[in-house]
Amino acid sequence: MSVVFLRRIRLGAAFVLLAYLTLHFSNHALGIVSLDAMAAGRWWFLALWRSAPGTLALYGAIATHGLLALWLLYQRRTLRMPLWEAAQYSLGLALPALLVAHVVATRIAWWRFDVDDPYSRVVLGLWLQSPANGARQALVVVLAWLHACIGVHYWLRFRPWYPRAAPWLFAVALLLPTLALLGFVAAGREVTALARVPGWTEAMLRAVNAPEPAEAAELLAIRRGFLDVYLFALLGVVAARGVRRWRARRRSVRITYPGGRVATTPSGFTILDASRLADVPHASICGGRGRCSTCRVRIVRGLGHVPAPSEAERRVLLRVGAAPDVRLACQTRPFDDVAVQPLLSPTVASADAYGTDARQGREQELAVLFADLRGFTRMAEHKLPYDVVFVLNRYFEAVGLAITRAGGVTNQFTGDGVMALFGIEAGPATGSRQALAAARAMVEGVAALSAELAGDLPTPLRIGIGIHTGPAVVGRMGWGESFYLTAVGDTVHVAARLEQATKDYGAELVVSDDAARRASIDLSAFPEHDLAVRNRAGRIHVRVIDRVAVLPV
Ligand code: FES
């Protein structure tokens, strides 16, 4: 079973636990209303989680999530990891030990000795009889929630809709445990008042069938037994890692980086593990989960010394249009010496630099436009270099203005080509409309420039434009002084291909169906084609527009 598949199972289990926590905290929050409201909420809560399917789902999820966490801990080749991941691991590993007392005193006591655990009994114990336990339990609530929130954030952060939803989710993440704790405090005060009534405590404890001393001793033994087993399992993982490392040390692999730096690691480590162990800065925005592609490297030497990519890695590489010698460093485990060249700047993942989302990169849907001047290279051959620079700068000014006025971001000016991004903030629908409007304005701008320079140009300037909308990773990339906002991924690759296709069709614009649909513009009157794109499965359905002036935008 692949690590990616195991992570998915763990994620499914995590969602069951998240649902449990959310309902549990909501139930606590009812304490703000009254102890009776808490009891009423608890009836529904128990109907769900103490039913046979609820029990199976909850305890199945606890066992699956916990065991897979231990297994993945064993699988990790190095324990060096980003701070957020270290925090999530530490919290996750601490929680079973912190929660066991509460679980044994409630669920296990109920199951083993038919001891009921209504809020009046639990709050009496935690608020009045043992405030230290109560404080610890409140802390556990916060830690469990923090663990869940970190997991959800790092799972969702590449979703295109997440930046918009994040403030709302953050508000819920803050509000729920706060209300739960306030409910606990309010219930504590109510129980304190009730406990002052003579005979209330004794009657309540009788009613819930509080455990006899012998039963309490057995519950304590269960709790200690669990802690022993858990500690044993943790030490087992640590010992197994040590044994594996000791065995692997007998065979090491040398990974050479640009500049001649060498990392020597036991075989079985990923290239990203090697970089981390050797303190070689290496981009890894998703934390080595095979989802962002920012860790990708070119295998400069020793391509035969790495195993073939897994299906999941192959899919990511295909999406970014990677060459055959490019691999994800976090997924590739060389079995012999290799030389590699990281393809993205390590500072892409630097949390202490600009610290913005764009700097760290995020996946989102947007429209990408490519354009270039037709036949300009041939025309430039007969001109002085100063004239070429003058015309190009005027051309870049014309198209740059058209792009920015339409709401886009000019991204790259290379040769006589330009790449622009639309919808980074406004979303793919608006971005697609903006890209089409920019295309029209660019053609008009170039026509006006041609008219102005007619005396110096052998033929009027003509432009070819390709537009496609889809998912891409957007971020600030580059090195040193040369950092700029750009996008990488299949969408960029396709847009570039559509721009090249304008030459084949002798058209001003080729637009993918995806872009036209997002822009809600009917292009059915224009000729349609299916285009093959190199390194991409499936063909792209496009519309060919000879003259952009007739576009309905
Ligand atoms: S670190 Fe994200 S794919 Fe390797």
C-alpha distances (whole Å) from 522 to each of 135, 238, 402 are 63, 61, 23
Confidence of residue 277 (pLDDT cuts 50, 70, 90): confident
Distance 272 CA to ligand 1 centre (A): 9
Rounded to the nearest angstrom, the distance between the alpha carbon of 160 and the centre of ligand 1 is 18
CA dist., res. 312 & res. 324, Å (int): 15
Main-chain phi, psi angles of 42, to 5 degrees: -65, -30
Q: Which residue has the tokens 């030459």?
A: 503
Higher confidence at residue 157 or residue 326? 326
Q: Ligand 1 — pocket residues by CB below 6 A? A: 284-286, 288-295, 328, 330
Choose one of 294, 314, 360 to mutate for the ligand 1 pocket test, by most ligand atoms within 8 angstroms of C-beta: 294
pLDDT average, residue stretch 139-156: 90
Of ligand 1's listed atoms, the one at least distance from the Cα of 284 is 1
Question: How far is the centre of ligand 1, averaged over its atoms, from the C-alpha of 359 (Å)?
Answer: 16
- The mean per-residue pLDDT over the stretch 13-29 comes to 95
Distance 12 CA to ligand 1 centre (A): 21
Got the DSSP string for 116-132? ---HHHHHIIIIII-HH
Percentage of the chain lying above the pLDDT 90 cut: 52
CB-based burial, 294-323: b 16+ in 10 Å, e otherwise: bbbbbbeebeeebeebbebbeebbebbbbe
279: confidence class by pLDDT, cuts 50, 70, 90: confident
Q: How far apart are CA 472 and CA 491, in angstroms?
A: 6
What integer pLDDT is reported at residue 485 of this predicted model?
Answer: 75
Which residue in 97, 116, 98, 94 sits closest to 107, CA to CA? 116
Mean pLDDT on 87-97? 91
Does 420 score more than 50 pLDDT?
A: yes
pTM > 0.85: yes or no: no
**Which ligand 1 atom minimizes the distance to the CA of 288?**
1
pLDDT 10s digits, 306-363: 998 988 888 888 766 677 888 999 999 998 899 998 887 776 543 333 333 444 567 7
pLDDT band at 489 (very low <50, low <70, confident <90, very high): confident
Q: What is the pLDDT of residue 479?
A: 65
Q: How far is the CA of 331 from the centre of ligand 1 (A)?
A: 8
Burial (Cβ within 10 Å: 0-12, 13-18, ≥19) of residue 62: middle
Read off the pLDDT of residues 357-416 as tens digits, 9 standing for 90 and up.
Answer: 444 567 788 999 999 988 777 777 777 777 788 888 889 889 988 998 888 888 777 778
Report CA(322)–ligand 1 centroid distance (Å).
Answer: 14
Beta-carbon contacts of 10 under 8 Å, excluding residues fewer than 6 positions away, are: 64, 65, 68, 69, 72
- Tell me the CA–centroid distance for residue 415 and ligand 1, in Å: 32
**Residue 3: which pLDDT band, with cuts at 50, 70 and 90?**
low
Mutate to test the pocket of ligand 1, among 291, 314, 315, 319 (most ligand atoms within 8 A of CB): 291
Q: Which helix (H) or strand (E) holds 148?
A: helix 131-156
Pairing mode, strands 463-479 and 482-488: antiparallel
pLDDT digits (tens, 9 = 90+) for 455-468: 778 788 899 999 99
Mutate to test the pocket of ligand 1, among 7, 158, 284 (most ligand atoms within 8 A of CB): 284
Query: Which atom of ligand 1 sits closest to the CA of residue 293?
Result: 3
CA of 293 to the centre of ligand 1 (A): 5
Q: Among 330, 332, 348, which is best to mutate for testing ligand 1, by the most ligand atoms less than 8 A from CB?
A: 330
Distance CA 390, CA 401 (A): 17
Ligand 1 nearest-atom number relative to CA 292: 2
DSSP class of residue 310 equals: P
